A and B are shown apart, each in its own frame.
Chain A
């Protein structure tokens, strides 16, 4: 069995190609199976309808508390909708965990979805623009936490201080949603900011049949 005289395969292209073929097949199968797989289609048909924004000024006169009353509370929401005002009804976490800072309200996707569809909140994507470009929650606008001052100025010009904002990031592990929410409150004076800690991943898991909402890198353009 030993000492088989055989020329050494200097460039093992065939086994390398086999690895590639195996990887492509495994990758396509896995991407199909995992709920957080790369979205292949750019179709506009969605399982989840984006919000109706024909009356963009409508939510400026409303508070998130009013919106929550208007939205039909899901049966399994537990204590989430028990009270009628935002400050009391929503579970809260500290903006950065530091004492002395005002807590930022927290919403999950089940709570955000009806408000978004009714056009009563503005959903803000805190991730870097490339993630927004890859895919995002339909109807969300991109405001990366590392956006430039002109981009923040453009955002402020479009959305006044009392606009109900809900900020999200990629996954529950991502802190950027909380960072952006804290910055919007403390540096830009927004009064009605919540966080969706489950983020894009929570939306994908909940809306598994929805297809991609890809677009250009930015929706907020500098003036």
Chain B
């Protein structure tokens, strides 16, 4: 059985989205109550119970989707979630930015991996809601691109793009579709 991994833009983007989602999930799971506080800062017109459920569930949706993208199993469902998530993030950060809410976005915890602390100004920029908005736009665009690429694949053999191959003879094509 021959396995070839060809690094294409699609594969790199898939890995990037997967790793970002896992990182985002870990940084939220480290302190769910803190994430709920950050969520309240967006002042979304949603009931408190729903926001609590979001604070509890969202990190795990991110974690599962990230792992799915990395493992390339049921990629379609994960990409559908990615588009929904990143679109929601764009709306949430956009409305917060437009209203001038002074919040740290709560998206990625830089301190989790010791990436913050030395350069306070840089940390402030990377945690600012404006940066979070443009990042969400970029991520949404990436997810939509991957989704469209995925949908453009021929519908004949769905097993292939789900990352599973059982026969040795037919798998000489590079495993590069994502």
Contact = CB atoms under 8 A, between A and B. Distances in A.
Interface of A: 1-13, 15-16, 18-20, 22-24, 26-28, 30-31, 34, 36-40, 127-128, 130-135, 146, 170-171, 173, 200-201, 204
Given A171-B31, A171-B34, A15 B76 contact: yes
A4 B31 CA distance: 46
Nearest 3 pairs of A and B residues by beta carbon: A131-B37, A15-B77, A8-B155
B158 interface: yes
Interface of B: 29-41, 43, 52-53, 55-61, 63-65, 68, 74, 76-78, 80-81, 102-103, 111, 151, 155-160, 166-167, 170
A5 B156 CA distance: 5
A20 B61 contact: yes
Contacts of B81: 16, 19
A7 B157 CA distance: 9
Contacts of B37: 127-128, 130-135, 170
A173 B111 contact: yes
B33 A135 contact: yes
Contacts of B63: 23, 26
Contacts of A9: 76, 158
Contact of B55 (A38, A171, A173, A201): A38
A132 B157 CA distance: 53
Contacts of A22: 60, 64
Given A15-B76, A26-B60, A146-B102, A204 B156 contact: no
A9 B53 CA distance: 29
Contacts of B77: 12, 15-16, 18-19
B101 to A, nearest CB: 9
A178 B155 CA distance: 59
A40 B52 contact: yes
B36 A27 contact: no
B130 to A, nearest CB: 17
Given A9-B158, A16-B81, A38-B36, A128 B74 contact: no
Contacts of B43: 130
Contacts of B38: 130-131
Contacts of B80: 11-13, 16
B166 A1 contact: yes
Contact of A3 (B58, B60, B157, B166): B157
Given A7-B155, A15-B77, A204-B33, A130 B61 contact: no
B57 A23 contact: yes
A186 B71 CA distance: 54
Contacts of A31: 32, 56
A34 B155 CA distance: 44
Contact of A37 (B33, B65, B74, B170): B33
B155 A38 contact: no
